Amino acid sequence: MGPFRAIGIAGTGVTVYRKWLDAVSDNIANMNNVSPTSGEAFRERFVVAQAVDYGSGTGGAQVGGIVLGNAEGRMVHEPDHPLADENGYVRYPDIDLGAQMGQLMMAQRSYQANLSVVDRAYDAYQAALQLGRNG
Protein backbone atom coordinates (compact mmCIF):
# COMPACT_ATOMS: atom_id res chain seq x y z
CA MET A 1 0.00 0.00 0.00
CA GLY A 2 1.48 3.32 -1.05
CA PRO A 3 1.33 6.52 0.94
CA PHE A 4 -1.36 8.03 -1.29
CA ARG A 5 -3.70 5.11 -0.69
CA ALA A 6 -3.01 5.28 3.06
CA ILE A 7 -3.81 9.00 3.05
CA GLY A 8 -7.05 8.35 1.16
CA ILE A 9 -8.21 5.57 3.46
CA ALA A 10 -7.29 7.51 6.61
CA GLY A 11 -9.07 10.52 5.12
CA THR A 12 -12.30 8.53 4.91
CA GLY A 13 -11.90 7.70 8.60
CA VAL A 14 -11.36 11.36 9.43
CA THR A 15 -14.62 12.21 7.65
CA VAL A 16 -16.60 9.49 9.47
CA TYR A 17 -15.26 10.48 12.88
CA ARG A 18 -15.84 14.18 12.20
CA LYS A 19 -19.49 13.37 11.49
CA TRP A 20 -19.60 11.36 14.71
CA LEU A 21 -18.14 14.30 16.64
CA ASP A 22 -20.73 16.59 15.05
CA ALA A 23 -23.56 14.25 16.10
CA VAL A 24 -22.31 13.99 19.68
CA SER A 25 -21.89 17.76 19.96
CA ASP A 26 -25.46 18.24 18.65
CA ASN A 27 -26.72 15.74 21.22
CA ILE A 28 -24.93 17.48 24.09
CA ALA A 29 -25.98 20.95 22.93
CA ASN A 30 -29.65 19.96 22.75
CA MET A 31 -29.96 17.63 25.72
CA ASN A 32 -31.71 20.31 27.81
CA ASN A 33 -34.14 21.48 25.12
CA VAL A 34 -37.69 21.57 26.42
CA SER A 35 -40.69 20.71 24.27
CA PRO A 36 -44.39 20.73 25.04
CA THR A 37 -45.90 17.30 25.62
CA SER A 38 -47.82 17.68 22.37
CA GLY A 39 -44.56 17.81 20.38
CA GLU A 40 -41.51 15.63 19.89
CA ALA A 41 -38.40 15.86 22.03
CA PHE A 42 -35.04 16.51 20.37
CA ARG A 43 -34.00 13.19 18.84
CA GLU A 44 -30.51 11.93 19.66
CA ARG A 45 -28.34 11.36 16.59
CA PHE A 46 -26.30 8.20 16.00
CA VAL A 47 -23.83 7.92 13.11
CA VAL A 48 -23.76 4.60 11.28
CA ALA A 49 -20.34 3.88 9.81
CA GLN A 50 -19.80 1.24 7.16
CA ALA A 51 -16.85 -0.19 5.30
CA VAL A 52 -16.30 0.55 1.64
CA ASP A 53 -15.16 -2.52 -0.34
CA TYR A 54 -14.69 -4.49 2.87
CA GLY A 55 -11.72 -6.85 2.77
CA SER A 56 -10.04 -5.32 -0.26
CA GLY A 57 -7.89 -2.92 1.76
CA THR A 58 -8.61 -0.09 -0.64
CA GLY A 59 -11.96 1.31 0.38
CA GLY A 60 -11.88 2.88 3.81
CA ALA A 61 -15.09 3.88 5.57
CA GLN A 62 -18.12 6.05 4.96
CA VAL A 63 -21.14 7.32 6.82
CA GLY A 64 -23.93 4.88 6.05
CA GLY A 65 -26.57 7.07 7.61
CA ILE A 66 -27.81 8.85 10.68
CA VAL A 67 -30.20 7.07 13.04
CA LEU A 68 -32.45 9.18 15.24
CA GLY A 69 -33.28 8.29 18.83
CA ASN A 70 -36.59 8.19 20.63
CA ALA A 71 -38.91 11.15 19.92
CA GLU A 72 -40.87 10.54 23.13
CA GLY A 73 -38.00 11.66 25.34
CA ARG A 74 -38.75 11.83 29.04
CA MET A 75 -41.59 13.59 30.78
CA VAL A 76 -40.64 15.92 33.62
CA HIS A 77 -43.04 17.60 36.03
CA GLU A 78 -42.32 21.35 35.86
CA PRO A 79 -45.64 23.10 36.43
CA ASP A 80 -44.05 26.58 36.37
CA HIS A 81 -42.50 26.09 32.91
CA PRO A 82 -44.21 28.15 30.16
CA LEU A 83 -44.46 25.04 27.93
CA ALA A 84 -46.02 22.83 30.62
CA ASP A 85 -49.28 21.10 29.78
CA GLU A 86 -52.41 21.18 31.95
CA ASN A 87 -50.85 18.52 34.22
CA GLY A 88 -47.58 20.45 34.58
CA TYR A 89 -45.41 18.21 32.37
CA VAL A 90 -42.85 19.07 29.70
CA ARG A 91 -40.81 16.84 27.42
CA TYR A 92 -37.00 16.60 27.52
CA PRO A 93 -34.75 14.55 25.23
CA ASP A 94 -33.73 11.16 26.61
CA ILE A 95 -29.98 11.80 26.30
CA ASP A 96 -27.46 10.58 28.87
CA LEU A 97 -24.52 12.98 29.32
CA GLY A 98 -22.21 10.20 30.57
CA ALA A 99 -22.86 8.09 27.48
CA GLN A 100 -22.33 11.11 25.23
CA MET A 101 -19.01 11.90 26.90
CA GLY A 102 -17.89 8.31 26.30
CA GLN A 103 -18.92 8.60 22.65
CA LEU A 104 -17.10 11.93 22.42
CA MET A 105 -13.85 10.46 23.75
CA MET A 106 -14.00 7.47 21.37
CA ALA A 107 -14.74 9.65 18.35
CA GLN A 108 -12.02 12.15 19.27
CA ARG A 109 -9.35 9.47 19.76
CA SER A 110 -10.31 7.76 16.50
CA TYR A 111 -10.23 11.08 14.66
CA GLN A 112 -6.75 11.77 16.06
CA ALA A 113 -5.55 8.26 15.13
CA ASN A 114 -6.64 8.73 11.53
CA LEU A 115 -4.93 12.12 11.38
CA SER A 116 -1.75 10.47 12.69
CA VAL A 117 -1.90 7.97 9.83
CA VAL A 118 -2.17 10.86 7.37
CA ASP A 119 0.83 12.57 9.00
CA ARG A 120 2.96 9.38 8.91
CA ALA A 121 2.08 8.67 5.29
CA TYR A 122 2.92 12.26 4.36
CA ASP A 123 6.27 11.96 6.13
CA ALA A 124 6.99 8.70 4.27
CA TYR A 125 6.13 10.36 0.98
CA GLN A 126 8.40 13.31 1.76
CA ALA A 127 11.25 10.95 2.71
CA ALA A 128 10.83 9.09 -0.58
CA LEU A 129 11.01 12.38 -2.48
CA GLN A 130 14.20 13.32 -0.65
CA LEU A 131 15.77 9.98 -1.59
CA GLY A 132 14.93 10.68 -5.21
CA ARG A 133 16.52 14.14 -5.06
CA ASN A 134 19.69 12.96 -3.35
CA GLY A 135 20.16 9.87 -5.51
Question: Given this model, what pLDDT does residue 59 score?
Answer: 80
Cα distance between residue 120 and residue 127, in whole Å: 10
Residue spans of beta strands (DSSP E) within the chain: 45-51, 61-68, 74-77, 89-92
- Averaged confidence pLDDT in the chain: 90
Question: Given this model, what pLDDT does residue 100 score?
Answer: 97
Domain that holds residue 115: 3-134
Collapsing DSSP to helix, strand or coil, 62 comes out as strand
pLDDT category of residue 41 using cuts at 50, 70 and 90 = very high
Over the stretch 45-79, which tens digit does the pLDDT of each residue have?
A: 999 999 888 777 668 889 999 999 999 999 999 99
Burial of 4 (0-12, 13-18, 19+ CB in 10 A): exposed
Cα dist. 3→7, 93, 117, 124, 126 in Å?
Answer: 6, 44, 10, 7, 10
Question: Given this model, what pLDDT does residue 22 score?
Answer: 96
The pTM assigned to this predicted structure is 0.83
Helix axes 3-29, 97-134, angle to 10 degrees: 160
Residue 98: closest CA among 24, 17, 16: 24
Please count the structural domains in the chain: 1
Q: Report whether pLDDT(25) > 80.
A: yes
Do residues 31 and 12 touch, judged by C-beta distance below 8 A? no
Q: Report whether pLDDT(1) > 60.
A: no
Proportion of the chain above pLDDT 90, given as a percent: 67
